[in-house]
Amino acid sequence: MKKLILALMLTSGILYSYADTCTDISINLSKKGNTNSQVLILQNFLFNKGLLNAKPNGYFGPQTFTAVKLYQKSKGITPTGDVAALTRSSIKNESCNGTTPAVSSPTTSTMATTTSQVMVTPLVPSVISIKVSPSVINTIDYATFISGGKMDTPLTIRGSGFSSSTNQVILKLTGSNRTFDLGNFPSVNGTTTIVSSSFITNTYPCGTSCTELLPVGNYSVIVKNEGGESNAGGIIVRNIIATGTSGSISTAIKQQSTQAKLATFTIGTNTSISLEEMNISLTSSLSSGAGISNLKLKDELSGEVIGGSSSFDLGKRMIIENQSKIYSLYGDIDVPVSVGVTINAVLKVKEFIGNNFIYITIPTVFDTISG
């Protein structure tokens, strides 16, 4: 009887473990007016630990101050309420001590027998399924956006585990069940996903045959890919309302006039901004701005008059939340015939939280010059 040698090859599986969300605050924070994405990171950490009862909004207020003191007491740190180096280090050590994925080494064992014939069924290699971890959001570079305002700063999400092919970025409006799909954005390095700033000027479905800009409010930011749904980051959406009315609504504009009122612009906001400049262009059936000269912009609240041919320096005048400004445009008129005039204006402002410039297009104003 033939001697048969049997061999079994046993190969171990591959095991992974994953680190929890890492909270790394890069600057010192205090309750003295800090409002930025780092505060939002701190608040998310405190909220997840059950120390902060209010919803994270990026503003370091009394409730955040109290939550920080509670955390400091729990760690034996002097409870000052300010987030300095010792507190930052404690938060990082607590949240960033995950493990690196570990791969076990293959092992082989061989067993020989026998003096009898045995029917042997070939071993079929098993397929090992490796689960992909969800993405982790650590920070968002810029936390405040102005709905409908053109800006150069994109929505930059930083973290880990982002897909090189598809990352679906979703906004969830706090206090409602509304969600807004911003689209899919690949990551070139796995640690950064960038959403074009056009998301803030785009319109989104709001019902049957209805679209709208992003509503004002606080939003959770979620990234979905093959690993599942990430933890939530956060942004704030505010708005600036700028309107224009014709100067010829109540009083006819004469063909020969000195400093006739051509338009009135009203600017309101629910966030603090500084007014940088206003750029104005006029066109008529004669030609671009023909017969209209010596343009001036008047602050109707202070009475200040600002000169300029098409660009008006607004002197970084500040508007705080829920205040407004009114400017009127005046010019000398000298046209031979009745004409229609179109006035287009773009307002440049600076938003204080992120220190970014934003451009607001004011609705077009139409004037009629006659008589």
Per run of 10 residues, the mean pLDDT along the chain (length 371 residues) is 35 35 85 79 90 87 90 92 91 72 37 48 56 88 83 90 92 92 93 92 85 91 94 90 85 86 92 91 75 90 88 90 90 87 92 82 89 68
Question: What pLDDT does residue 292 have?
Answer: 87
Q: What residue spans in the chain does CATH classification 1.10.101.10 cover?
A: 1-117
At 44-98, the pLDDT tens digits run 999 988 898 888 888 888 889 999 999 999 999 999 989 999 999 999 988 887 4
> Alpha carbon 269 to chain centroid distance?
18
Query: Closest Cα partner for 366 from 335, 344, 337, 334?
Result: 344
CB 248 within 8 A of CB 369: yes
CATH of 247-369, one of 1.10.10, 3.30.460, 2.60.120, 2.60.40: 2.60.40
Question: What pLDDT does residue 72 have?
Answer: 92
Per-residue exposure over 136-147, b if at least 16 CB sit within 10 Å of its own CB, e if not: bbbbbebbbbbb
- In three-state secondary structure terms, 224 is strand
Question: What pLDDT does residue 287 have?
Answer: 66
Question: What pLDDT does residue 257 have?
Answer: 87
Superfamily (CATH) of domain 1-117: PGBD-like superfamily/PGBD (1.10.101.10)
CB 306 within 8 A of CB 342: no
Question: What pLDDT does residue 35 have?
Answer: 78
C-alpha to C-alpha distance for 200 and 183, rounded to whole angstroms = 13
Question: What pLDDT does residue 116 have?
Answer: 47
Question: What pLDDT does residue 4 have?
Answer: 38
Residue 296 CA: distances (Å) to CA of 204, 262, 331:
38, 10, 6
Q: What residue spans in the chain does CATH classification 2.60.40.10 cover?
A: 136-239
Which segments of the chain does DSSP mark as H helices, in order? Answer: 37-48, 62-74, 85-95
Instruction: Name the burial class of residue 117, with classes exposed (0-12), middle (13-18) and buried (19+) by CB atoms within 10 angstroms of its CB.
Output: exposed
Check if CATH label 2.60.40.10 holds for domain 136-239: yes
CB 152 within 8 A of CB 45: no
At 285-297, the pLDDT tens digits run 776 666 888 999 9
